[in-house]
């Protein structure tokens, strides 16, 4: 995979100055100059989740900065964002956006990031990534984030759901080829290949959000037309007992089909001789 010069998303390129270090502010740092915190309690990272984040970074860049503190010369230690740092390395990035802080006080860092979310006109993906950063790095709940940024918990949750989209659709959204409303409509599509197909059609043909929603509804309707598994009804114990008694008396499998006050008795036989024997036993 070819290395990319910078890991900045489109919006962050305008927000973060393109130079090596800015004390107590934003910077673009060499990824090799950043090292993980040895006291980080989290050591296990889910490979599947890292793969998804890596694919997103390759497509749209690293949407939220890592948080670091200077430790020696041009070296920095991660305060928060190790998962993003690991995924960025996997994606082949040589530089990443970072918030440089001399303190790791959680309250100060949280307020600084919330201030940035409120101040800047972020795109939908950047907003979603900012919320995820507050959730993952600073243990805030969706409700906490909503209160801090002046939005409802539901708004925060729905915004973050955009990060569940395939990387290719995230790319269309980031490049503004696809409206945020259209992208949200695709969240309900379980077939990712179909979701990507609709997203491409919408981007190429200029579909409205309504047209995307209609396409999703048609797909859901087709799924609804598929045969549904029959729910097995609980059979009365008396009927089961009667089946056993008849089977023993006739020496052949007996099935009683019963619904309401009506039904039928089915007796299985394997030859005409056996049928004749059953007939004689029945009337004996």
11-33 pLDDT tens trace: 554 444 444 444 457 788 999 99
In a domain, 186, yes or no: yes
Q: What is the mean pLDDT of residues 67-96?
A: 88
Find the range with the poorest average confidence among 79-83, 107-111, 147-151, 265-269.
107-111
For residue 50, give both structure tokens: 């890292």
Most confident of 151-155, 208-212, 274-278: 208-212
**Backbone CA torsion sign across 56, 83, 45, 155:** negative
The CATH number for 160's domain is 1.10.10.2830
Question: Which has more pLDDT, 251 or 144?
Answer: 144
Pair 127, 33 in one domain: no
Range of the domain at 171: 166-222
pLDDT of residue 81: 85
CA distances from 100 to 13, 23, 135 (A): 16, 6, 20
Q: Is 82 a catalytic residue?
A: yes
The DSSP 8-state label assigned to residue 257 in this structure reads E
Pair 94, 176 in one domain: no
In a domain, 232, yes or no: no
Q: Give percent of the chain above pLDDT 90.
A: 17
- pLDDT over 70 (residue 282): no
Number of structural domains in the chain: 4
The Cα–Cα gap between 144 and 153 comes to 8
pLDDT of residue 255: 82
- pLDDT over 90 (residue 198): yes
The Cα–Cα gap between 124 and 163 comes to 10
Question: Which has more pLDDT, 249 or 35?
Answer: 35
Pair 156, 63 in one domain: no
Last residue of a domain, one of 195, 222, 249: 222
Pair 175, 127 in one domain: no
Task: Indicate the average pLDDT of the chain.
Answer: 78
- pLDDT over 60 (residue 232): no
In a domain, 229, yes or no: no
pLDDT of residue 31: 93
| pLDDT tier, 110 (very low <50, low <70, confident <90, very high otherwise) | confident
- pLDDT tens per residue across span 213-223: 999 888 877 65
Q: What is the mean pLDDT of residues 260-273?
A: 76
pLDDT of residue 172: 92
Looking at 82, 95, 126, 174, which residue is catalytic?
82
pTM of the model as a whole: 0.59
Q: What is the mean pLDDT of residues 142-148?
A: 87
- pLDDT tens per residue across span 89-109: 999 999 998 888 876 666 766
Pair 11, 80 in one domain: yes
Pair 47, 70 in one domain: yes
Pair 9, 91 in one domain: yes
Q: Are strands 254-259 and 262-267 parallel, antiparallel or unpaired?
A: antiparallel
CB 100 within 8 A of CB 131: no
Within 13 A of 2's CA, how many CA atoms are on the CB side? 3
């Amino acid at each position: 995979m070819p290395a990319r010069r910078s890991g900045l998303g489109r919006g962050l390129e305008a927000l973060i100055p393109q130079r090596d270090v800015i004390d107590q502010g934003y910077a673009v740092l060499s990824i090799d100059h950043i090292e993980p915190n040895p006291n980080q309690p989290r050591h296990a990272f889910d490979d599947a989740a890292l793969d998804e984040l890596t694919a997103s970074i390759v497509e749209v860049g690293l949407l939220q900065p890592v948080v670091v503190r200077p430790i020696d010369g041009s070296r920095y230690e991660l305060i928060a964002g190790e998962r993003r740092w690991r995924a960025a390395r996997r994606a082949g990035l040589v530089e990443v956006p970072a918030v440089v802080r001399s303190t790791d006080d959680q309250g100060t860092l949280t307020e600084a990031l919330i201030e940035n979310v409120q101040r800047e006109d972020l795109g939908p993906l950047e907003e979603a990534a900012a919320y995820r950063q507050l959730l993952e790095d600073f243990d805030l709940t969706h409700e906490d984030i909503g209160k801090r940024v002046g939005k409802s918990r539901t708004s925060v949750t729905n915004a973050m759901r955009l990060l569940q989209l395939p990387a290719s659709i995230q790319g269309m959204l980031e490049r503004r080829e696809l409206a945020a409303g259209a992208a949200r409509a695709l969240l309900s599509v379980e077939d990712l290949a179909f979701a990507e197909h609709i997203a491409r059609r919408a981007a190429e043909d200029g579909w409205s959000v309504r047209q995307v929603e209609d396409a999703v509804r048609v797909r859901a309707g087709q799924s609804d037309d598929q045969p549904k598994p029959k729910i097995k009804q609980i059979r009365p114990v008396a009927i089961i007992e009667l089946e056993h008694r008849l089977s023993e008396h006739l020496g052949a499998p007996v099935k009683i089909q019963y619904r309401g006050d009506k039904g039928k008795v089915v007796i299985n036989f394997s030859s005409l001789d056996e049928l004749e024997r059953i007939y004689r036993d029945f009337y004996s």
